Structure 1
């Protein structure tokens, strides 16, 4: 049986990811600050284990223990949309969590590779290709780096995987999923995956439903062909535009 660890499991997308994994028969360890924030998720198969913990305060050894037996780890961590959430601490919430996962994987005595799927944003360019955003977007992103710490956190979290873990780590493989403008929908719909953004995420953003992001992230961990296609990359996901 597949086993997964989900960080940020109580967030708007994290909850949908947990549900998607459970529906597909995956045993899930969901890390949340308060157990009641996710306790009402339907779990008819008793596959959900709720772990009440603060990831930023968790020792590497404790995270390594949680990762024991897991085939995949997901991060849907993000900053609350409030003044404190945006400008308060921890400003490197996502970056520090991703780095902690990388260290914890190294502590594992198992040689089995773990797949990590990180939820990110189309505002973060893939500098491995490299992408060439239009001038207007580059200027807007430069401004965001100055005034929005969460954007810098997203960029640096991706850089941990791109630059520190890299493409040939002996224990950790990764995919960074970049949704465009997030919306809420009740059902999974058709969606398209691209290597790079096909729209300007600042001035001409598309739409991506959170439930589609959750479906794609869960499928990445379960479909070996899909994983091979996107391993070590930063795919962009959009809702399919109906003609």
Structure 2
């Protein structure tokens, strides 16, 4: 099984790559700085590194990199710096999602390709009646206006939910929504929910990056887990 991972050089992306390698998967990654990436992940015979920026690749190049992949996983995000939050590209996650899905469809795969997107619990699943207080609506509205990455994450998930949908001939998808991310050395117990069980603004939970990587790897490699969560936006919390 072959998986393309974008955002692989990020804190969560590296952990996902390692999880997949540990499960015997063949991995392709697209990273800007291969040497730096390989310093942290290491060289592996089942790991192919493509030096590029996703949005700078042509449609034909993206289709070539996606060709033969059973899954595509996106751990793309904006760095926590002024340039990362407010600079270009403003729609990194959304545009990459759309272009990668177009690349998948361009190859006319014989079976569905899985698209697994790391997102945020601050983004609601509009297929469900997820309750949110008036105060939280106001805060989220301000965040949407003032901090571009939030809107970017919303647009990426909405593209999968509405443009790809649940009956696409080429793509099946799942959107993973962690809460406040933390760094842990090992996988711990975590719980999954269809919708948030707490306020992402006023009562946030904690989700370790390694648990996110573990669950995303489960979605990619475990048919039972995929069957349970495909076409959905599961929320993941650490068990405390």
The answer to whether TM tops 0.5 is yes
CA offsets 1:18-54 (integer angstroms, 9 cap, x no match)? 1110011110001101112211245575111111111
5+ long unaligned stretches in structure 1: none
Partner residue in 2 for 1:172: 171
Q: How many angstroms does 1:161 deviate by?
A: 0.1
Q: How many angstroms does 1:112 deviate by?
A: 1.9
CA offsets 1:90-135 (integer angstroms, 9 cap, x no match)? 0000000000011101110432210010000010000011312122
Provide the secondary structure at the position in 2 that maps to 1:97: helix
| Aligned residues of 1:19 and 1:41 also touching (Cα < 8 A) | no
Superposition pairs of residues 69-84 of structure 1, within 5 angstroms: 69-84=68-83
Distance in 2 between residues matched to 1:44 and 1:147, nearest whole Å: 40
Partner residue in 1 for 2:51: 52
**Cα RMSD, aligned residues only:** 1.1
- 1:7 and 2:6 matched: yes
CA offsets 1:30-79 (integer angstroms, 9 cap, x no match)? 11011122112455751111111110111121111111111100000001
Superposition pairs of residues 138-149 of structure 1, within 5 angstroms: 138-149=137-148
Provide the secondary structure at the position in 2 that maps to 1:61: helix
CA offsets 1:184-214 (integer angstroms, 9 cap, x no match)? 0000001000000011011110100000000
Partner residue in 1 for 2:229: 230
Superposition pairs of residues 61-210 of structure 1, within 5 angstroms: 61-210=60-209
Report the number of matched residues.
240
Distance 1:76-1:42 versus aligned 2 partners, 3 A rule: closer
5+ long unaligned stretches in structure 2: none
Distance 1:47-1:186 versus aligned 2 partners, 3 A rule: same
Distance in 2 between residues matched to 1:171 and 1:159, nearest whole Å: 18
| Aligned residues of 1:20 and 1:215 also touching (Cα < 8 A) | yes
Distance in 1 between residues matched to 2:201 and 2:40, nearest whole Å: 34
